[in-house]
Structure 1
Amino acid sequence: MTVDKQAPGSGSIMVVGGGISGLTTALEAAEVGYEVFIIEKNPYLGGRVAQLNQYFPKLCPPTCGLEINFRRIKDNPNIKVFTLAEVEKVSGNPGNYTVDVKLSPRYVNSNCTCCGECGKACETEVPNDFNFGMDRIKGAYLPHEMAFPARYVISPRIIGTEDAKKVKAACKYDAVELDMEAKTISLSVGSVVWATGWEPYDANRIDNLGFGRYPNIVTNMMIERLAAPNGPTKGKILRPSDDKAPESIAFVQCAGSRDENHLPYCSYICCMASLKQATYVRALYPDAKIYIFYIDIRSPGQRYEKFYNMVKADENVFFIKGKVAEVSEDPDTRNITVVAENAVTGEKIHQTVDMVVLATGMQPTAANIKLPADLKYNADGFIINDFEKGGMFGTGCAAKPFDVTSANQHATGTALKAIQTLVNK
């Protein structure tokens, strides 16, 4: 592709990551005339927001914001979306990059109508990553009902099996291609925005909090999926060991955060996430008791402070200022006892509850897998932007912990920086 670097409205931008920050960056650039490539490793766009039950500031479901963005993408010829795609290599300089992108096979082409016949024909079940493995789905599946692109996916686990042949035979539209192979394409772009997002910190690494040992200890993202109407329990928050409606839940704040052995920083969103999830439980179970163990509550801004005060006024929600030291399980009831020292009274507390929710922190994806480009990172894996050099930028939670509103604002600014690279080089 030949790019005129001087003319405004020319050139192209690559956005790596199709979560809320990536979508915002792409749309802001495309809607002022720039060609944009979105590169997303999952078979769908939407990122972590798609996995939420509700999100601030309006506590609306993901459909509320993502649906509009998906429509804008479909209507904009400047945007080209590549899913099941990962950047392998970036070479060149600001204004003139060549990016090698690996495309993994979906085994389903654009003829797909989402009729679902392939899923009905498939007998094999695979873990459902969208629900953090809390349930299983067919080997031919739609990631979730709002998935964009709206197209089924066939798991590589069934390729080469008799089940795969049944899936292909069930498709009336010739949409199943079992012989699809991975391929690499090269794209010429003027700037690259890394919107690679975040991952929940691995709770298995926090030895004293029992995750993985006791089934009734879940993470904040897991309870988000339990509360979601399209989650593994269709919106019912049930404890995993016996599908019982919990009468009491403890939220453990800073699970692995603000801890030099894990994540030394505050993830910004965890306190508000737990307060929000407490309202999920109270709406479902009016008599349930909620215990929130915290170091300090961080509710930045007037709107969040107001929400915090609303939750604090609930007579069935109890705030305990104290870091949880350990947890244990009663093998007969599978109830969990949380042990902490109340920092205000000095009292050692043993609180027994039906379920525990660990407010695990937000870790940038690049902390675990370094990106294949010349980027700078801080000690925690967040991208440090070099605005003087330009060309490549981190945005959203690839750059620092953000809530959805702040991530959108940051992504809008990053889109401008990417455009400036094209205009100035």
Structure 2
Amino acid sequence: MADDNKIGVYLCTDCGIGEMLNVDELEAVAKKEFKVPVCKKHPFLCSREGVQIIKDDINNGEVNKIVIAACSPRVNTDVFNFDPLKYVTERVNLREQVVWVKSSTEKTNEGSQMMAADYMRMGITRIGKSSIPEPKYTDVNRTLLVVGGGVTGLTAALEASKAGYKSVLVEKARELGGQAKKMYKVFPTAPPFAELEKPTILAKIEEARNDGNISIHTDTTIASIEGGPGMYKVTINKQGTTESFEAGAIVLATGWRPYNPDNLAHLGYGKFRNVITNLQMEELVTKGNGKVLRPSDGKPAKNVVFIQCAGQRDEKHVPYCSSVCCNVSLKQAKYVRDSDPDAGAFVIYKDMRTLGLYENFYKTSQDDEGVFLTKGEVLGLEEGPGGNIYVEINNHLLGRTMKINADMVVLATGMVSGMVPEDRGVNNLTPEYIGNFVKRETSDGEIVELEPLSLALNLKYRQGPEMPHLKWGFPDSHFICFPYETKRTGIYAAGAVRHPMDAVQSVGDATGAALKAIQCIELTAQGRAVHPRTWDRTYPEIRVESCTQCRRCTVECPFGAYDEEKDGTPLLYPSRCRRCGVCMGACPQRVISFKDYSVDMISSVLKSIEVPDSGTFILCFVCENDAYPALDMLGLNRVGLNTNFRFIPLRCLGGLNLVWIADALSQGVDGILLLGCKFGDDYQCHYIKGSQMANERLGKVQETLSRLMLESERVEQVQLAINEWEKLPGIIEEFSKKVEAIGENPYKGF
């Protein structure tokens, strides 16, 4: 065995492994089948004594590739942590996914023993095909670019400064403060959450201007952003004068704008003089120094009607709830009451939504005898003499229609992400990108390009110049697990640009985004991925001489890690890569690989499995982010599993290469089950749409199966969330019965 391939296998016999399995037979797999020179067993491998055995072999130069056959790779990561820049470690999961999932109907341990032996073969094969990563250490720039000078952007810059990092803040308006500067008062932030408070935005602006770590550019736009995390080149434009600088990460804080009220003529806007929006109400009260005066004649407004969800939760306008509008109307109802104790405020709502501790604020409004809250539907508005507005509603609480004579009507218009162009609604955005796709003739024929309508970042990326979005213009990556991430590594969205929120929430959001941006810079400097594989120091390696310039990798990469040379050859920006392997699965020529993850590696792993000559035998390719932990949870709960299955973890199901399907079936495997994250509206994929892309690729499996003269039902994909682990036994049994009904693979035994 070559000196650079010194494999050591270490078997743990604790946690029931030694009681159920014949460890000597597993040791024989390593020594006799793979000729592994070092193979040792220990009753308590994760103990100080057990780990020291491994360290002694490392220090003696006997081992540089370590196979730990014990518990799940998701536990004891700190214990079995050997210098990843010198040694490769592979974990073989004998505990959670073999010993702890023994079926109560299994009379002997034969099935479990076969599982364990195969997992040993797979682990040793995998590590034999792995090599030590070569991290790309970078002298990164540690300055943050903050785009947007509202409460979110200012907070992000200030919090970064407290952590010792410099920021360049770019605001397109002439003044800092954004929408927060227009507020007369803000929601209560302290118990008992009953009284409104004065805005603090002016103090925040002053603090930022006096902070030596923050450079501020107002009346400025971004002309272009090139490069990637740690090495962005940013060019800004101020009244025709350009300036360039470098940045390490970006906080996107372009805020929000109100939904265009010109679309709300049916609610009287633009038609009646005393129908205004909630944002106009703030400006009106600020101008009146707390007095609520009608815009038509300046007279005090004695009766004010607030119409909730004005254009919101409506597929024709804004399909979503903006979450803060109910609080805003309650706040403005208090303006009315504070302006005149004899005045009344009527709030007509679909549903009253006051999240968290704001429920106390809502109760305060309920206790105010001058604030009338009713669930109802607006049937129509008419203008009466003197500018009064007659609002007819269907009062759902009273079960009858009624008319309210109002001096003024305030529409609770929704919040639209600052990334949405002003001339576009949230329902007519190009899928994924904000802009128009146009066809253009080139020497290569007709191609489709993005013609953006409005640019905030002006990214020089192959996949488009603006931030992709999942829905309605809100940029994000994985709302549940990575709230600040976007589809562009190193760019973190915060505040109302990523989903509707108030100023208090935006402050917390900005702090989180700034910390994630700092983390990105520091991980990039170490050559590590930023999320979710933060330990990973590998990068895609492209065998360029075999590349056919098909552009599949550049198109399918969820994070824009690839640009292109003029001839179409992929150009990798390593610091943008999140190591998901989607490009590896997309490449038809199989020229993309990682030091410890490749098409050849998984193909070799498949060939190492001993497929029985008879009986149904099924392979499962499982996502390491949801499906694999779900399997572990079966073990933790001692739920039995069919032993005719073998589970092969993938970084992402989107990295599935179709050659693995052909390899497995031609080897005699009877069926293949793909377990991946949920996609669509309930997406949970850590890599945006990896599971969805795997599903799309399955359409091509039919061609492979037809060539092998096999049934298409032998391959199936199932969407599985991590919290649906209890469904796994049923999923596995159902698929097993389906394959049994089809019959054994005719290639079995060849």
Structure 2 partner of 1:412: 511
Give secondary structure in 2 for the equivalent of 1:254. Answer: coil
Say if 2:452 is the partner of 1:397.
Answer: no
Structure 2 partner of 1:255: 310
Residues 170-206 of structure 1, C-alpha deviation per residue, up to 9 Å, x if partnerless?
xxxxxxxxxxxx2121221111111000001111111
Identify if the C-alpha distance between structure 1 residues 23 and 236 changes in structure 2 by more than 3 Å, giving closer, same or farther. Answer: same
Cα pair 1:249 1:291 within 8 Å, conserved: yes
Using the TM superposition, give the Cα deviation of residue 6 of structure 1 relative to its aligned residue in structure 2, in angstroms. Answer: 5.4
Provide the rounded CA distance (Å) in 2 between the counterparts of 1:388 and 1:12: 21
Say if 2:214 is the partner of 1:79.
Answer: yes
Provide the rounded CA distance (Å) in 2 between the counterparts of 1:235 and 1:342: 31
Provide the rounded CA distance (Å) in 2 between the counterparts of 1:45 and 1:370: 19
Give secondary structure in 1 for the equivalent of 2:149. Answer: coil
Q: Map 1:109-188 to 2 at 5 A.
A: 182-188=240-246
Provide the rounded CA distance (Å) in 2 between the counterparts of 1:72 and 1:103: 23
Structure 1 partner of 2:474: 382
Q: Map 1:22-421 to 2 at 5 A.
A: 22-58=153-189, 59-62=196-199, 65-104=200-239, 182-228=240-286, 231=287, 233-302=288-357, 304-330=358-384, 332-368=385-421, 369-371=454-456, 372-373=458-459, 374-385=466-477, 386=485, 390-421=489-520
The letter of the residue matching 2:170 is I
Structure with greater strand share of residues: 1
Identify if the C-alpha distance between structure 1 residues 389 and 39 changes in structure 2 by more than 3 Å, giving closer, same or farther. Answer: closer
Using the TM superposition, give the Cα deviation of residue 51 of structure 1 relative to its aligned residue in structure 2, in angstroms. Answer: 0.6
Provide the rounded CA distance (Å) in 2 between the counterparts of 1:240 and 1:79: 40
Using the TM superposition, give the Cα deviation of residue 365 of structure 1 relative to its aligned residue in structure 2, in angstroms. Answer: 1.5
Provide the rounded CA distance (Å) in 2 between the counterparts of 1:275 and 1:5: 52
The count of corresponding residues between Structure 1 and Structure 2 is 336
The letter of the residue matching 2:352 is I
Provide the rounded CA distance (Å) in 2 between the counterparts of 1:424 and 1:384: 20
Cα pair 1:28 1:412 within 8 Å, conserved: yes
Using the TM superposition, give the Cα deviation of residue 346 of structure 1 relative to its aligned residue in structure 2, in angstroms. Answer: 2.9
Provide the rounded CA distance (Å) in 2 between the counterparts of 1:207 and 1:388: 37
Cα pair 1:338 1:351 within 8 Å, conserved: yes
Cα pair 1:5 1:422 within 8 Å, conserved: no
Using the TM superposition, give the Cα deviation of residue 5 of structure 1 relative to its aligned residue in structure 2, in angstroms. Answer: 5.0
Provide the rounded CA distance (Å) in 2 between the counterparts of 1:256 and 1:299: 19
Unpaired runs of 5+ residues, structure 1, are 105-181
Cα pair 1:191 1:422 within 8 Å, conserved: yes
Identify if the C-alpha distance between structure 1 residues 329 and 78 changes in structure 2 by more than 3 Å, giving closer, same or farther. Answer: same
Using the TM superposition, give the Cα deviation of residue 355 of structure 1 relative to its aligned residue in structure 2, in angstroms. Answer: 0.4
Residues 208-259 of structure 1, C-alpha deviation per residue, up to 9 Å, x if partnerless?
111111110111111111222xx2x343211011111111110000111111
Using the TM superposition, give the Cα deviation of residue 370 of structure 1 relative to its aligned residue in structure 2, in angstroms. Answer: 4.7
Structure with greater helix share of residues: 2
Cα pair 1:57 1:405 within 8 Å, conserved: no
Provide the rounded CA distance (Å) in 1 between the counterparts of 2:402 and 2:472: 33
Segment drifting more, 50-59 vs 38-47: 50-59
Provide the rounded CA distance (Å) in 1 between the counterparts of 2:161 and 2:364: 40
Instruction: Give the TM-score normalised by the residue count of structure 1.
Output: 0.76
The letter of the residue matching 1:346 is G
The letter of the residue matching 1:383 is P
Provide the rounded CA distance (Å) in 1 between the counterparts of 2:295 and 2:263: 20
Identify if the C-alpha distance between structure 1 residues 392 and 84 changes in structure 2 by more than 3 Å, giving closer, same or farther. Answer: same
Using the TM superposition, give the Cα deviation of residue 68 of structure 1 relative to its aligned residue in structure 2, in angstroms. Answer: 3.3
Using the TM superposition, give the Cα deviation of residue 21 of structure 1 relative to its aligned residue in structure 2, in angstroms. Answer: 0.6
Residues 69-89 of structure 1, C-alpha deviation per residue, up to 9 Å, x if partnerless?
234323321110000011122
Residues 323-382 of structure 1, C-alpha deviation per residue, up to 9 Å, x if partnerless?
22321111x321101122112333122212110000111111112245323522132111
Say if 2:522 is the partner of 1:423.
Answer: yes
Which structure is higher in RCO with an 8 Å CA cutoff and minimum separation 6? Answer: 1
Provide the rounded CA distance (Å) in 1 between the counterparts of 2:326 and 2:493: 25
Give secondary structure in 2 for the equivalent of 1:327. Answer: strand
Give secondary structure in 2 for the equivalent of 1:57. Answer: coil
Cα pair 2:265 2:271 within 8 Å, conserved: no
Give secondary structure in 1 for the equivalent of 2:410. Answer: strand
Provide the rounded CA distance (Å) in 1 between the counterparts of 2:267 and 2:151: 31
Query: Which one has a bigger Cα radius of gyration?
Result: 2
Structure 1 partner of 2:6: none
Provide the rounded CA distance (Å) in 1 between the counterparts of 2:487 and 2:401: 53
Cα pair 2:394 2:401 within 8 Å, conserved: yes
Give secondary structure in 2 for the equivalent of 1:319. Answer: strand
Give secondary structure in 2 for the equivalent of 1:356. Answer: strand
Segment drifting more, 197-206 vs 233-242: 233-242
Cα pair 2:177 2:202 within 8 Å, conserved: no
The runs of at least 4 aligned residues of structure 1 exceeding 6 Å deviation read: none
The letter of the residue matching 2:392 is V
Using the TM superposition, give the Cα deviation of residue 60 of structure 1 relative to its aligned residue in structure 2, in angstroms. Answer: 2.1
Give secondary structure in 2 for the equivalent of 1:350. Answer: strand
Structure 2 partner of 1:13: 144
Provide the rounded CA distance (Å) in 1 between the counterparts of 2:486 and 2:345: 46
Give secondary structure in 2 for the equivalent of 1:339. Answer: strand
Identify if the C-alpha distance between structure 1 residues 325 and 97 changes in structure 2 by more than 3 Å, giving closer, same or farther. Answer: farther
Give secondary structure in 2 for the equivalent of 1:93. Answer: coil
Cα pair 1:14 1:36 within 8 Å, conserved: yes
Identify if the C-alpha distance between structure 1 residues 328 and 387 changes in structure 2 by more than 3 Å, giving closer, same or farther. Answer: closer
Provide the rounded CA distance (Å) in 1 between the counterparts of 2:507 and 2:197: 16
For the aligned residue pairs, the C-alpha RMSD in angstroms reads: 1.8
Give secondary structure in 2 for the equivalent of 1:360. Answer: coil
Using the TM superposition, give the Cα deviation of residue 405 of structure 1 relative to its aligned residue in structure 2, in angstroms. Answer: 1.5
Provide the rounded CA distance (Å) in 1 between the counterparts of 2:235 and 2:166: 17
Provide the rounded CA distance (Å) in 2 between the counterparts of 1:234 and 1:68: 20
Cα pair 2:476 2:487 within 8 Å, conserved: no
